[in-house]
Amino acid sequence: MTDQIKTSSASYITDVRINWDKINPVFANTMRQVLGVCFVKHNINMIPTFGIRTLSDQAKLWRQSRSSLEINQEIQKLKASNCDYLANILISVGPQNGPHVTNSLPGLSWHNWGEAIDCLAFVNNTPIMSGDAPEYATYAQVAVDYGLTAGDLFKSFKDAGHVQLRKQEILDLYTIKEVNDHFQVCETGREV
């Protein structure tokens, strides 16, 4: 179901491809406010394109721009850290092709935790594809004004449409083994 918000004489669509019920509720509420401000004050319709992402989807995105050597090295690192669950997901998705779109292994993206959303900017019903467009800078500033972290401001890999709840990286809060065990329990129901 599409969630539409009415504002004065206009309405905008706040979701097309995401399930808001799977997004952290505090983050979802704040993001709806950010989207509203972008639309009402700046005439930018930010359409969410990705919300929660499965570990398999994250693995596919991570693998798509990496060499077999780099992939095998990460799999071996995960196994050496007793993170067989994450290693097996990285293996199971098989070879992928495409552009570099993420630095985050499965489990290490806030999308996997329901705390990140990617949006595409539209102005006058026209998509703005360039992440360097000023609309993304405006979106980033509005997100920051609401206490969120904007991918447009990332130093290592600029991600213009990305906004997340937390400033910290996942590995600033948890060990890779804790991440592995969390998702193994959540997704399989099997205790570690």
Question: Which residues span the domain enclosing 99?
Answer: 55-109+170-188
pLDDT digits (tens, 9 = 90+) for 58-69: 999 999 999 999
Tell me: do 159 and 69 sit in the same domain: no
Mean pLDDT, the chain, whole residue set: 91
Residues 6+ apart with CB under 8 A from 141: 150
pLDDT value of residue 88? 98
Task: Say what the pTM is.
Answer: 0.88
Amino acid at 74: E
Cβ contact 29:148 at 8 Å: no
Q: Does the pLDDT value for residue 33 go beyond 50?
A: yes
Mean pLDDT calculated for residue range 12-35 = 85
Tell me: do 158 and 115 sit in the same domain: yes
Mean pLDDT calculated for residue range 170-180 = 98
> 87 phi and psi, to 5 degrees?
-60, -45
What is the domain count for the chain? Answer: 2
pLDDT value of residue 192? 66
Label residue 16 by pLDDT band (50, 70, 90).
Answer: low
Tell me: do 11 and 95 sit in the same domain: no
Label residue 191 by pLDDT band (50, 70, 90).
Answer: confident
Mean pLDDT calculated for residue range 133-162 = 95
Report the alpha-carbon distance of residue 57 to residue 192 in Å, rounded: 23
Tell me: do 44 and 126 sit in the same domain: yes
Tell me: do 90 and 176 sit in the same domain: yes
pLDDT value of residue 157? 87
Tell me: do 137 and 66 sit in the same domain: no
Furthest CA-CA distance within the chain: 58
Tell me: do 80 and 95 sit in the same domain: yes
Q: Does the pLDDT value for residue 1 go beyond 60?
A: no
* Nearest C-alpha neighbor of 65 from the set 31, 37, 101: 101
Tell me: do 160 and 126 sit in the same domain: yes
Q: Which residues pair with 164 in a beta bridge?
A: 116, 149
pLDDT value of residue 13? 53
CATH number at residue 35: 3.30.1380.10
Mean pLDDT calculated for residue range 132-156 = 96
Tell me: do 104 and 118 sit in the same domain: no
Residues 6+ apart with CB under 8 A from 120: 46, 47, 49, 127, 128, 129, 161
Tell me: do 105 and 136 sit in the same domain: no
Q: Does the pLDDT value for residue 137 go beyond 90?
A: yes
Please report, for residues 13, 16, 119, 127, the alpha-carbon distance to residue 4 in angstroms, rounded to integers and kept in the order given.
5, 10, 16, 18
Label residue 2 by pLDDT band (50, 70, 90).
Answer: very low
Tell me: do 140 and 64 sit in the same domain: no
pLDDT digits (tens, 9 = 90+) for 86-131: 999 999 999 999 999 999 999 999 999 999 999 999 998 899 999 9
Cβ contact 90:63 at 8 Å: yes
Report the alpha-carbon distance of residue 159 to residue 17 in Å, rounded: 18
Report the alpha-carbon distance of residue 176 to residue 169 in Å, rounded: 12
Tell me: do 47 and 114 sit in the same domain: yes
Residues making up the chain, counted from first to last:
192
Mean pLDDT calculated for residue range 6-23 = 62
